[in-house]
Amino acid sequence: MTSDTAPSGAAPRGSRRRWAPAPFLAPGMVVLSLFVAVPILLITSYAFFTRGRFGGVQFTFTLDNFARLADPLYLKVIATSVGIGLIVTLLALLLGYPTALVITRLPAKWRTIALVAVLLPFWTNFLIRTYAWILLLNNAGWINQGLQAVGIIDEPLTLLYTQPAVVVGLLYMYLPLMVLPLYSSLSAQDAQLAEAATNLGSSPWRVFRTVTFPLSIPGVLTGCVFVFVPAMGNFVIPELLGGGKTVLIGNLVRDQFLKARDWPFGAAIALVLTIMLLLLLFAQQRASRRVTEGPAERKVTTRA
How many Å apart are CA 207 and CA 79, to the nearest integer? 38
Cα distance between residue 79 and residue 83, in whole Å: 6
pLDDT by residue (tens digit) across 158-201? 889 999 999 999 999 999 999 999 999 999 988 888 889 888 88
Task: For 221-270, write each residue's pLDDT tens digit.
Answer: 999 999 998 898 888 999 999 888 888 998 999 899 888 889 999 999 99
Pairwise CA distance, residues 75 & 68, whole Å = 10
Helical H runs in 188-262? 191-199, 204-207, 213-215, 217-233, 236-240, 249-258
Q: How far, in Å, CA of 129 to CA of 126, rounded? A: 5
The domains of the chain are located at 36-70+262-292, 79-248
The residues facing 58 across adjacent strands are: 50
With beta carbons less than 8 A apart as the criterion, state whether 48 and 67 touch.
no
Choose the weakest-confidence range: 16-25, 105-114, 185-194: 16-25
Helix (H) or strand (E) holding 140: none
CA–CA dist 92, 204 (Å, integer): 23
Topology, domain 79-248: MetI-like fold (1.10.3720)
Contact between residue 233 and residue 77 where contact means Cβ atoms under 8 Å apart:
no
Higher model confidence: residue 92 or residue 281? 92
Q: How far apart are CA 211 and CA 51, in angstroms?
A: 55
Could you give the 3-state DSSP secondary structure of residue 294?
helix
> Reduced to 3 states, what is the DSSP secondary structure of residue 276?
helix
Q: pTM of the prediction?
A: 0.82
